[in-house]
Amino acid sequence: MTITGTDFTESTFLRQQPVKMLIGGQWVEAASGKTFETMNPSTGQVLAKVAEGDSEDIDRAVAAARKAFESGVWPKLTPSQRGRLLWKLADLIEQHAEELAQLETLNNGKPIKYSRGGDVPLTADHFRYFAGWATKLEGDTIPVSIPNMFTYTLREPVGVVGQIIPWNFPLQMAAWKLAPALACGNTVILKPAEQTPLSALRLGELIGEAGFPDGVVNIVPGFGETAGAALAAHPDVDKIAFTGSTEVGKLILQASVGNLKKVTLELGGKSPNIIFPDADLKFAIRGAINAIFFNQGQVCTAGSRLFVHKSVYDQVLSGLTDYASKMKLGMGIDPATDLGPLVSQEQLERVTGYIETGKREGATTTIGGSRPDSEQLPGYFVQPTVFDNVKDEMTIAREEIFGPVVVALPFEEVEEVAARANKSIYGLSAGVWTNDVKKVHKMAAALKAGVVWVNTYNQFDAAAPFGGYKQSGYGREMGHAVLDAYTQIKTVWVNLR
Ligand code: NAI
Ligand code: MG
């Protein structure tokens, strides 16, 4: 493989064929010997063959994680040493930043400027933030009302944790899952998405290089219905952390019933982004563009329902259309690209299917609505698309599209827009654009969402809790909130009499 203008060929990672999986500190092939192909969505061409994990590999990985947990090599390592290893991993990510950015872009399709400027540095940052938590997992002393009792709590790891992640931010999703789990002393089996296994596997090599003990992190690539389902149902897994579709989130929950494993779910969204007439419209329009087109709209928080006050609706819509027309579609690896391809043929069909449904139900596009010239862009590309003449009841206004498609909806009153914004099975995030401080707080209180962004959108930080209301899931990631997901509290009573 030659990619001119980059130092990617310096990486030996893709030269190993197939790319193997990480179990108990060893790089191994699938027990079945099977492999699957992973693609470059910018071209539709095969990038690598990858070992295809299934239930037997999950069994091996769970056994390795269990051994690492029970032997104490990880949970009993001093917190300071655990923190150091997480910090060292962050250093290694930075040392290999360019290689990781290219791998991420080649496998996911996302524009390289975002892999370089966002995905990779934020991944390193996540490990650094949680490196700090390893030494700060404190219990409490409890002033109980029973005489002579000394009562305290310990925060202990949950145990063996299965983590199933999606393909939209492969490296960052791995970091959101691994960093807090490891800081808290758990051992892990990570299953990357079948579309994008490469960067997580390269991360696995760096985990080995950093010096994490064998079996603390196991990475098993494979399909959801096989490897993922086996992990979710495994009787020796204590917890599953999942990010993906609401549909699969429900399956994970059902699979957890056997041994009542703990579950945290970060699922879909249909987030409202609301522009009031007193907003600084120039910023609001740019914000609405970022809210929907960032990562080709393949973001769980995508601002896919754009509510615009009637008095500025036409102005905002023409601004949006104008911006969208200037976005450069291109190969992920091209530094000039603003909008890359969708991740797969399946997502291409899903998104174009929604666009057709929108048109059939009577909505109209002000821009986009189809694929670009496939001779020039042979990958899974869709034009940035803005829908007008939309009704709240239409499919495209209710269901998660997960592509560069926004529906614009006019509104008149504050109470009205809050009610319409909340009329969704989802409640992941929301955006509000206004310079009126009263509206800011009214809306922040009224919106049923785990995150509300005011005069900004898609802000994430390792320190700020993130997660959903309603069918967008439960449990929180990031910040100190995620510690509840990866620890359990033990109460100790000591009779001092
Ligand atoms: P998905 O939910 O099927 O896949 C996400 C992860 O779950 C992958 O690692 C997959 O292998 C695994 N998985 C799938 N079926 C499983 C099962 N039965 N048991 C255990 N694990 C399983 O999502 P998919 O099919 O890639 O995308 C479909 C839609 O889901 C998207 O169009 C989007 O609407 C939504 N989605 C939401 C994401 C988010 O960030 N909240 C991320 C990815 C997809
Ligand atoms: Mg699926």
Write down the catalytic residue from 52, 194, 266, 477: 266
For residues 111 and 340, is the Cβ–Cβ distance under 8 A?
Answer: yes
What is the arithmetic mean of pLDDT over 24-35? 98
Task: Output the CA 446–ligand 1 centroid distance in Å.
Answer: 29
- pLDDT for the residue numbered 9: 45
Residue bearing the CA closest to ligand 1, atom 14: 224
Whether 193 lines ligand 1, by a CB cut-off of 6 Å, is yes
Partners of 491 in the beta sheet? 153
Judge whether residue 11 has pLDDT over 90.
no
- pLDDT for the residue numbered 12: 74
What is the arithmetic mean of pLDDT over 329-352? 98
Residue bearing tokens 């007439």? 277
Cα distance between residue 114 and residue 360, in whole Å: 34
Residue bearing tokens 């896919």? 304
Partners of 263 in the beta sheet? 240
> What's the chain's average pLDDT?
96
Residue bearing the CA closest to ligand 1, atom 29: 245
Judge whether residue 5 has pLDDT over 60.
no
Whether 52 lines ligand 1, by a CB cut-off of 6 Å, is no
Residue bearing the CA closest to ligand 1, atom 26: 166
In the residue annotation, 300 being an active-site residue is answered as yes
What is the arithmetic mean of pLDDT over 106-112? 98
Partners of 391 in the beta sheet? none
- What angle do helix axes 281-293 and 313-326 make, rounded to 10 degrees? 50
Report pLDDT digits (tens) over 452-493. 999 999 999 999 999 999 999 999 999 999 999 999 999 999
Extract the tokens encoding 312: 């500025």
The residue with greater pLDDT, 10 or 385, is: 385
- pLDDT for the residue numbered 6: 41
- What angle do helix axes 170-183 and 97-108 make, rounded to 10 degrees? 120
Cα distance between residue 407 and residue 398, in whole Å: 10
For residues 275 and 316, is the Cβ–Cβ distance under 8 A?
Answer: yes
Judge whether residue 266 has pLDDT over 80.
yes
Task: Output the CA 267–ligand 2 centroid distance in Å.
Answer: 12
What is the arithmetic mean of pLDDT over 329-337? 97
Convert 130-163 to b/e letters by CB count within 10 Å (16 or more is b).
Answer: bbebbeebeeeeeeeeeeeeeeeeebbbbbbbbb
Whether 119 lines ligand 1, by a CB cut-off of 6 Å, is no
Helices (H), 327-389: 345-360
C-alpha neighbours within 13 Å on the C-beta side of residue 245:
10
Cα distance between residue 436 and residue 450, in whole Å: 22
Cα distance between residue 82 and residue 76, in whole Å: 9
Going by their DSSP bridges, the two strands 217-219 and 187-191 should be labelled as: parallel
Q: Which of 11-15, 61-65, 238-242, 395-399 has the lowest mean pLDDT?
A: 11-15
Whether 39 lines ligand 1, by a CB cut-off of 6 Å, is no
Task: Output the CA 197–ligand 2 centroid distance in Å.
Answer: 15
Task: Output the CA 147–ligand 2 centroid distance in Å.
Answer: 56
Extract the tokens encoding 159: 């145990």
- pLDDT for the residue numbered 14: 81
Ligand at minimal distance from the CA of 228 is 1
- pLDDT for the residue numbered 3: 44
Ligand at minimal distance from the CA of 403 is 1
Judge whether residue 374 has pLDDT over 90.
no
Cα distance between residue 317 and residue 321, in whole Å: 6
Q: pLDDT-based confidence at 8, cuts 50/70/90?
A: low
**CA distance to 184, 278, 430, per residue, from 433 (Å):** 38, 8, 10
Of 126, 194, 203, give the one whose Cα is nearest residue 164.
194
- pLDDT for the residue numbered 2: 43
Of 421, 412, 418, give the one whose Cα is nearest residue 443.
418
Report pLDDT digits (tens) over 124-157. 999 999 999 999 999 999 999 999 999 999 999 9
In the residue annotation, 184 being an active-site residue is answered as no
Q: pLDDT-based confidence at 4, cuts 50/70/90?
A: very low
**CA distance to 17, 78, 92, 217, per residue, from 49 (Å):** 6, 39, 25, 22
pTM above 0.95, yes or no: yes
Of 203, 191, 8, give the one whose Cα is nearest residue 93.
203
What is the arithmetic mean of pLDDT over 402-419? 98
For residues 222 and 191, is the Cβ–Cβ distance under 8 A?
Answer: yes
- Report the length, in residues, of the chain: 497
Provide the 10 A C-beta neighbour count for residue 187. 30
Convert 348-358 to b/e letters by CB count within 10 Å (16 or more is b).
Answer: beebbebbeeb
